[in-house]
Amino acid sequence: MTPPPIAVRTATEWLSARARWHPLEIVFWFAAFAAIYLFPARHLILTEIAWLGLFALSLDLILGYAGIISLGHAAFFGFGAYTAALLAKHEIIEEPVLALLISGCAAMALGFVTSFLVLRGSDLTRLMVTLGVALVLRELANRYGWLTGGADGLQGVSIKPVLGVFRFDMFGHTGYTYSLTVLFILFLVARRLVNSPFGLSLLSVKSNPLRSSAIGISVDARLVAIYTVAAGYAGIAGALLAQTTAFASLEVFSFDRSADLLLVLIIGGAGYLYGGLIGAIIFKFMQDYLSALTPQYWPFWIGLALVVIVLVGRDRITSWTTPIRLMAARLNWRALARRSAERL
């Protein structure tokens, strides 16, 4: 009756199975970097995809891993965008990479402060609270026009060369390389984070907060931590937009932006980090293609796609790709089991 013992080495392999690099991941990043040389004419839209992907990755960290739903993630995006634009305009920090980091830190600070508002309550409460925070920020930016440029946006921003060497150009060549590099580095950090004991504890909090606290996890502290990190990611995404377009306007805080972001993540599927990136690719190209076809009505098709995806996903809107990923994981595990059996 007693099941057979198991080797520590096998257990180690199974435990770190989630963290192992899949060949498709390598292909994905190789293709993304190859696009620098292969599609120079598409660098403007690729730049948009890069910062949108980073923005969606940020939402995935809180929604896919910690179960915090948000309709106001643009608050952090916009805060980062204005920070970066203001730093450049007033020549406070001229070097873009340093300004990017500072914008991220500013958004993190905002994320930390507002995280306490999303600790309690249902999904609906969280939707309303996050929505409210973004609305408040937008109105503040509108009200203090002397600082933000108000409804006209922040004009006259000029961005200095990256690291003092790489000058931004109107074709987005520098912009794409810069944005993609930032995205890749932050992706690696996020990948590391979600596959760590900390990341596992986030999954447990999402799955069953009652049990999480019963094994000694301070649920609130973990949620504050990941919300703060995600806000920083969103802020950096916003700063990338501001730097690559040398502009920031009230639109960075808009409700549409937060709602589109949720859409992007749902298209790609939450909870495996690539969902936001894939969603951003699909969303931007669909938008590009459909708006060329029917300039007025492209949201119709996006809306239709959303309805289909949610129906396919049925019980959980955030993970219509779950069955596919579970199958991939099973195949992966089977290979692992075979290998460990061969060793014995």
Partner 1 sequence: MAVVLETISLVKQFNGVIASDNVSLQIEKGARQALIGPNGAGKTTLINLLTGVSRPTSGSILLDGEDITDLSTHKRVRLGIVRTFQINQLFSDLTPLETIGLAVSERRGQGLDWWRIVGSRPDLVAEVVEILERFHLTDVIDKRTAVLPYGKQRLLEIAVAIACRPRVLLLDEPAAGVPEEERHEILAAVAALPSDVSVLLIEHDMDIVFSFADRISVLVNGALFVEGTPEEVAHDARVKAVYLGEELVDA
Minimum distance from residue 186 beta carbon to partner 1 (Å): 14
Binding to partner 1 by CB under 8 A, coded x per residue (else -) over 221-260, reads: ----x-----------------------------------
Distance in angstroms (rounded) separating the CA atoms of residues 161 and 74:
27
Contact flag: residue 117 with partner 1 (CB under 8 A): no
Minimum distance from residue 283 beta carbon to partner 1 (Å): 26
Residue number, 217 or 290, with CB nearest to partner 1:
217
Residue number, 48 or 60, with CB nearest to partner 1:
60
Contact 130, 71 (CB under 8 A): yes
Residue number, 173 or 325, with CB nearest to partner 1:
325
Minimum distance from residue 205 beta carbon to partner 1 (Å): 9
Minimum distance from residue 322 beta carbon to partner 1 (Å): 9
Distance in angstroms (rounded) separating the CA atoms of residues 192 and 195:
5
Distance in angstroms (rounded) separating the CA atoms of residues 12 and 220:
29
Contact flag: residue 324 with partner 1 (CB under 8 A): no
Site for partner 1 in 164-223 (CB under 8 A): 192-193, 195-201, 203-204, 207-208, 210-211, 213-219
Minimum distance from residue 217 beta carbon to partner 1 (Å): 6
Closest to 223 (Cα-Cα) out of 251, 204, 239: 204
Contact flag: residue 44 with partner 1 (CB under 8 A): no
Q: Which residue has the tokens 């992706």?
A: 187
Site for partner 1 in 6-25 (CB under 8 A): 6-8, 11-16, 18-19
Number of residues that bind partner 1 (CB under 8 A): 41
Q: Interface with partner 1 by CB under 8 A: which residues? A: 1-8, 11-16, 18-19, 192-193, 195-201, 203-204, 207-208, 210-211, 213-219, 225, 333, 337
